Amino acid sequence: MIIKFMFSKAVNNSKEILYLIKEFNSEGILFGDGQRNKIKLYYLDGLNINIKSFKIPHLINKIAYKYFRKSKAKRSFEYATILLEKGIGTPQPIAFFENYNVFGLNDSYYVSEHLECDLTFRELVEIPDFPDHENILRQFTRFSFDLHQKGIEFLDHSPGNTLIKKSTDGNYDFFLVDLNRMEFHQSMPFDIRMKNLCRLTPIKEMVAVMSNEYAKVSGESEQLIFDTLWKNTVDFQEQFFRKKRFKSKLKFWKSV
């Protein structure tokens, strides 16, 4: 059995964290449904933290994560560090932990500060009359433009992966979570920027507002932004529901 781990420089309670990881299955409060990856909450030395346990990979990925690719836990830790260095909000990274057996990577964990938020982007999609809706959406669009200007392609830029907190000055702060899929560029072409925003909302009116705000900060044509973003959004939605229908049929035939 091979164990690998790393802590951020500010951590001074590494033994306690290692204990929580060791006792992950028996301690902590489950956060979310835990159907794929499990997140548990803990209170440690005056700080709320969460530990994310990634699903044990299948055999091919076990080998890949051992020899060819960084684990999701390690990527989450490293990407969080990069985001903070670039001035992008994300919960403070604390540690990652990897456990290898003879076949390759077995279980892995990412530890970070647990951030209480006022909402996620999902509320803007599901609640059209959410208070200050348009203002939050426009500020979120400027936040996304800042990501793009800094060459950050957040591949899981979807409704549940941005936490939003109202700041004391009445503006909003944004924090990315679920960080293991990212690309970093010297500069991001227009088509990649628009594709990066297409998973956020299927609501045409929201896309129009985002297009208007993105045009203001980028100097690009608002019509071009809207046409490109809306086409990418429609394409993504069609692909999403096509996969969903296929999975439903597959489950049906498996149950017959």
Q: What is the pLDDT of residues 179-188, one digit of tens each?
A: 999 999 999 9
In CATH terms, is domain 119-242 a member of 1.10.10?
A: no
Residues forming CATH 1.10.510 domain(s) in the chain = 119-242
Condensed to tens digits (0 to 9), the pLDDT of residues 8-27 reads: 877 778 899 999 999 999 99
Please identify which residue in the block is written with the tokens 């803007």: 124
Measured distance CA(99)–CA(88) in Å, rounded: 30
User: pLDDT tens-digit profile of 28-66?
Assistant: 999 977 678 999 999 988 889 999 999 999 999 999 998
CA distances to 49, 61, 62, 99, 118 from 66, in Å:
27, 8, 6, 10, 38
- The CATH-assigned architecture of domain 2-113 is 2-Layer Sandwich (3.30)
The model's pLDDT over 107-143, given as tens digits with 9 standing for 90+, comes to: 999 999 999 999 999 999 999 999 999 999 999 999 9
pTM of the model: 0.90
CATH 3.30.200 domain position(s) in the chain: 2-113
What's the mean pLDDT when you consider all of the chain?
91
5 three-class SS? strand
Angle between helices 222-255 and 204-218 (to 10 degrees): 140
